[in-house]
Every structure is written in C-alpha cells, then in structure tokens.
C-alpha cells in the first residue's frame, strides 16, 4: 500500500498534523501536572523565664493533581499541634473544585487526538476518495467547526478553573478543624486559638504548567478556526460561488 504525502503539503493536511501535536500537548500538560504546596506550623514551648525553650515544626503538605477535585480530597489527619492530647487529630482540608472544567478540557484534547489521528490516516491512505466524495469536505468542515467551539469554550472554562485551583491550593486558605473550635484557616489558628502556635514558611506551589496548558488550548482554537477557511475552499459551496462568479462577470460601465 502506497502512502500519499501530498495532502500534507496543503494547509488542510499540514494543519491536521499541528492540531494532533498541540492536542497532545494540551491534555498531557494538564493530566501530568503535580504541585505540592505546604505550610509550616511552629510550636514554641516557653521556659520558666518566658523565653522559647523548645521549638518543633510540623509541615502540612498536599499533592495537587488532576482532576483537581480539591474539596473532595481526603482530609489530612496527621497533625497534633504542640503534641497536645486532643479528642481527635487536627484535620486539614482543601477548598475549591475545578474537576468539571479540567475534565472538559482534557476530553476535548483526547477527542481531538482521536479525530486528527483518523483524518491523518485518511489523508495518507484514501485521499483520492476524500477529494472525489463531495460530502467528505463538508463533514470535515462541520466537525472542525465543532472542535473550534469546544477548544474556545474549554480553554475559557479551564482558565476560570485555574483560578479556583490556585486559590484552593494556597496553604493560607486550607481549613483546619480542631475539636470544639470549628473550621478555621491556618492563619486564624496562628497566635490566636492556640497559645504558642504560629505559622512558618508558606510554599504555594508553582502552577506554570497549567498556565502553559491553557496557552496550548487557545493555540488549538486558533488552529481549528484557521482551518475552517481552507476546508471551506474544498467544499461544493465554494466551487458553486466560483462558478457563478466566472459565469456572471461584472458588466463594464458605458
């Protein structure tokens, strides 16, 4: 079986390869992302003279990863501030949820990968049938239009979801639950609810990888939107307009 590489010298074929590549980049940078923000809880034990005689540091950390269902993550129960005996362990839970936004974005990427893989195979193996069938370019045009809309809406939704992820992943916003004291943020606990209990270093984590994934999403939208014009020129609609223009030339003025 002889493969035909001629379609990839045209915009419709070349753009399909770019769409295939950037779709992989978009969903891969999302599902493979991990960050580990953390916060330090410092316990100061004072001596008889009022100075700090002993200091212990407990680190609270959590792995942030796809699908970013933060408020449904299991609460961390490993903390006991200042080694005090409590009725139950100190629980630390996250806030925010970007599961639907991230899954819609990733689903669009996966569907794009599958569709473009199929179309690349068609261009390689059966391009003659594609060009001889007047319905094929029309179907390709409408599917491309759908994917352009999906990439625009998915990227915008994921951009909104990223703000929820960054806010919920900030250790300053994590919710601590202590017996008989309700829900409070780490900042509210420090130096207020427990004597000698204060905050140390806060590491919010880096979310540059997710920003890059959003950029890939908007690049995908541009690629799919641009491809609409080149696919339109392959349809019978464009051929009809060109034939009408050649059969009805503009009359010159007298």
| Inter-CA distances, 81 with 88, 140, 176, Å | 12, 61, 11
Residue 193 has pLDDT above 60, yes or no: no
104 band by pLDDT with thresholds 50, 70 and 90: very high
Question: What are the pLDDT digits (tens) for 32-59?
Answer: 999 888 877 777 666 566 565 566 777 7
Nearest to 139 by CA among 23, 59, 234: 234
Point out the least confidently predicted range of 28-37, 57-66, 68-77.
Answer: 68-77
DSSP sequence for 12-37? HHHHHHHHHHHHHHHHHHHHT-EE--
For the chain, the average pLDDT equals 79
Q: Find all residues with CB under 8 Å of 247, minimum gap 6, and list them.
A: none
239 band by pLDDT with thresholds 50, 70 and 90: low
Which residue shows structure tokens 């370019």?
Answer: 137
Q: Return the H-helix or E-strand segment holding 127.
A: helix 127-132
Point out the least confidently predicted range of 11-20, 43-52, 129-138, 147-156.
Answer: 43-52
- pLDDT, residue 251, reads 43
Retrieve residue 190's tokens: 């420090």
* Average of per-residue pLDDT across 99-107: 94
- pLDDT, residue 114, reads 96
- pLDDT, residue 115, reads 95
The C-alpha atoms of residue 250 and residue 254 are separated, in whole angstroms, by: 13
Retrieve residue 172's tokens: 């300053």
């Amino acid at each position: 079986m002889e493969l035909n590489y001629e379609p990839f010298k045209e915009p419709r074929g070349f753009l399909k390869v770019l769409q295939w590549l950037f779709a992989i980049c978009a969903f891969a940078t999302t599902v493979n992302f991990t960050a580990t923000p953390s916060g330090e809880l410092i316990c100061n034990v004072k001596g008889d003279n009022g100075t700090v005689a002993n200091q212990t540091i407990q680190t609270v950390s959590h792995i942030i990863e796809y699908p970013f269902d933060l408020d449904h993550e299991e609460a961390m129960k490993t903390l006991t501030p200042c080694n005090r005996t409590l009725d139950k362990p100190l629980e630390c839970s996250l806030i925010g949820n970007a599961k639907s936004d991230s899954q819609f974005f990733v689903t669009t990427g996966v569907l794009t990968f599958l569709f473009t893989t199929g179309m690349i195979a068609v261009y390689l193996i059966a391009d003659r049938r594609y060009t001889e069938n007047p319905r094929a370019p029309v179907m390709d045009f409408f599917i491309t239009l759908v994917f352009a809309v999906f990439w625009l809406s998915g990227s915008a939704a994921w951009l909104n979801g990223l703000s929820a992820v960054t806010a919920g992943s900030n250790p300053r916003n994590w919710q601590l639950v202590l017996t008989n004291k309700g829900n409070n943020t780490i900042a509210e606990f420090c130096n207020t609810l427990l004597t000698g209990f204060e905050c140390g270093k806060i590491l919010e984590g880096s979310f540059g990888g997710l920003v890059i994934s959003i950029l890939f999403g908007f690049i995908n939208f541009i690629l799919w939107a641009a491809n609409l014009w080149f696919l339109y020129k392959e349809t019978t609609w464009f051929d009809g307009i060109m034939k009408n223009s050649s059969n009805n030339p503009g009359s010159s003025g007298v």
